[in-house]
Chain A
Amino acid sequence: MNKGKLQLQRWMRRDTAAALLFLAPSVIGFGIFYAIPFLLGIYESFTDRTMGGAFVGLDNYKELLDSGSFRKAAGNTLLFTAVGVPLLIVTSLGLAMLLNRSLYFRNGLRTAFIIPLVVPVASIVMIWQIFFDWNGTLNAWLNALGKERVDWLQSDWSMGIIVMMYVWKNIGYNMILFLAGLQSIPKDYYETARIEGAGRLRQLFGITLVYLTPTLFFVVLISVINSFKVFRETYLLAGDYPYDRIYMLQHFMNNMFFALDIQKLTAAATLMVGCIVLLVSGMLRVERRFREDME
């Protein structure tokens, strides 16, 4: 018994060493390209001037929070996440459940939903731009129908368009994740439920959603993170100063970068990362608790 324990320890040690060795390249890469620059950025956010400025404490953060545009950007980003993520989850889950059944042309459909992931954004944005422009296709149709035209990208509609774009872009990826999750639920559960006389709805809430929860957590997480990344599409669609509603945090940061205001930029980035980390760790904690309950 004692001998076995010793062996185990040695084995552990050997394995740790090997793991560290194998991890080193990625850790070094991550460190050099992400972690170290980000830590430097955090340091910059507490100084008054780029490279070698004096320490000014929270002044940059105070200035940042005083900036009306930053508050607007943060509000818009939150609103976007709050609307976009649930919508994306519901549609992609619905789609996954639909495609999980035997359906005519199922494989073709599955591929079709994954295509948005592979298509370069710039080419798509161009079409959207032509479609939604003030003098674009959609307004031409409206005009032909004798209706007032709408400035889609310069009114509150713009948020809707960005949400649509976000859903379109991410639905395929989420769908795959959900499909994998759905397929891992044993079929017997449903059979048993059906024999017991459970209805469709009861099956959905009692089996599907319960056993899909770990996947659901992961998908929500990825979707939230992706929702912060919607800037690229928005920027390509509406430029650096878009309509009020779709002025996101990343617009703010991008404009700060071009104004050489590195202090405000790094302070904003630090705040944003802080919020995301809080959100994610909160979610992970909930998930852990849920899993313990399941067991």
Chain B
Amino acid sequence: MRTKWIGILMSFMLIFALAACSGSNGAGKGGQPANTSGNNQPGSGNGGGVDKPQSGSGSSTPKGEKKTVVFSTFWKDEKFAEAKKRYEALHPNIEIKLEYIDTDNEHVEADLEKFATTTNTAMLAGKGPDLLEMDKLPIDSYVKNGLLVDLETMIERDQEFKRGDYFTNILDNAKVGGGLYGMPLSFFLMGFAGDADAIAKAGVQVDDKSWSWADFAQIGNKLMKDGEFSNVIWTTPGSLLTMMVTDHYASFVDVKNKKASFDSAAFIAMMEQVKKMKEDGVIGEGRPYFFPTQINSAGDYVTTMQEYLSKNMHLYAKPHTKETTPGGYFRSYRTIGLNAKSDVKQEAWDFIKFMMSEEMAYSPLSAGFPINKNVYAKGLEELKKMGSVKGHEDGALKGAAVKVDEARIERLNGYVNGAIHPVAYQSDKIEEIVYQETLAFFSGQKSAEAVAKLIQNKATTYLNE
């Protein structure tokens, strides 16, 4: 009798536990539409995962019926909202559904992780949005799993698409795994802001088109000897070493054979070299000749260059290895991927093209150089018309206006057209490992050999997974 009661009790407990499980599950499901309806502010036109099957059924319906392209981004982006509005006005039978995460500063990291995991899962399950902003997503893994369309195939089939209208130096070099799986709608320039006057005064010639890290080290020594400033570059040894490793990636990492050679004499010598730079004052935060910088837009170029200590700051390309072709560095921004499982590929591609076109409003002050050359040129005209750009309120300029200088803009053109080395939007795992582990070396706590061995171990593990 007693055991029977216990049995009944136990099963009730189980039922309760299960009910609790499914209950919380249901609550989660219930929460989602509430959340998306919260996003559904006027103008943003945000749909939810719930409506997604519509896009699927849209393709099977006869012509003339409304089709839906779902476009998922992490941030809420005015630019995309604007694009949606304009595009829908021109194409009444297409609806662009923008999906994004409502996040705030405190939750960015957690939301970012959630965004990546849910998008990854949806993509792997063959659902997922039609278009995705890839900036915060692991594009390499997507390509490996065949989740994205190679946009080159869309370009080939598209008679209207004129390559010449775009910055082909960016298009050609934004490829991943042999194809253009993400369309960079815009990009940033990465380089050094250098004090041209002070460098000239020290009697040093800098040919930034083709300078290598060895040249940089040499120039650094010369500047230290003959120049008046206390440092050459404003950075930390860890960041500089990481930059150098990224540039010499192929000589340390053999991705194909899954071999790392961080325990080599070359890497140890590189570590020692950077440490010596620190000790000699080449790297330092006193008054340097160069600052590593990222130029976000033409307007940003005008002001940022003035925000450093000197009046005549020039943009210099970052040094690179002797083996690579000379040219500057860029970082893609607003890279759009097209879901390989999408039912509305043609429509989605058309929308991508629209976002790249001259129909999009562009301000030379907004973040990102546009991929479209004509849009860029128009922006420069506008910038020249403005005559001056207001500096950042909380920057060194304290909101003071900076005059737009024609000669400077001309120089910018060279860099925009000459940027051919992509810098990944997110740092690579190996770069992260190198940066983390060398901290103890640069602070003098560990020997170069010990640190190199650790990096070698972890990099090998990473490569062999």
A interface residue numbers (CB < 8 A to B) = 22, 25-26, 28-29, 33, 49-52, 67-70, 72, 134-135, 149, 151, 154, 241, 243-244, 247, 252, 255-256, 258-262, 264
Contact = CB atoms under 8 A, between A and B. Distances in A.
Tell me which of A28, A49, A264 has the highest count of chain B C-beta atoms within 10 A of its own C-beta.
A49
B387 interface: no
A128 B8 CA distance: 44
A22 B430 CA distance: 53
Contacts of A149: 445
14 contacts: A29-B17, A29-B21, A134-B440, A134-B445, A135-B445, A241-B433, A244-B457, A247-B461, A255-B462, A260-B138, A260-B142, A261-B141, A261-B144, A262-B124
B14 A26 contact: yes
A69 B464 contact: yes
B125 interface: yes
B112 interface: no
Contacts of A154: 454
A202 B464 CA distance: 52
Interface residues of B, number: 33
Tell me which of B120, B125, B258, B465 has the highest count of chain A C-beta atoms within 10 A of its own C-beta.
B465
Interface of B is mostly: helix
B124 A51 contact: yes
A22 B11 contact: yes
Contacts of B59: none
Contacts of A256: 465
A260 B144 contact: yes
Interface in B80-139: 120, 124-126, 138
A135 to B, nearest CB: 8
Contacts of A68: 258, 460, 464
Interface of B: 7-8, 10-11, 14-15, 17-18, 21, 120, 124-126, 138, 141-142, 144-146, 258, 429, 433, 440, 445-446, 454, 457-458, 460-462, 464-465
A69 B461 contact: yes
Given A22-B7, A49-B145, A70 B14 contact: no
Contacts of B120: 260
Nearest to B123: A260
B11 A25 contact: yes
Interface of A is mostly: helix
A255 B465 CA distance: 8
Nearest to A244: B457
A264 B440 CA distance: 34
A259 B141 contact: yes
A247 B461 CA distance: 9
Nearest to B8: A22
Contacts of B15: 25
Nearest to B458: A241
A31 B7 CA distance: 21
Given A50-B124, A260-B138, A260-B145, A243 B7 contact: no
Nearest to B140: A259
Given A241-B433, A241-B461, A52 B18 contact: no
Given A29-B21, A134-B440, A244 B461 contact: yes
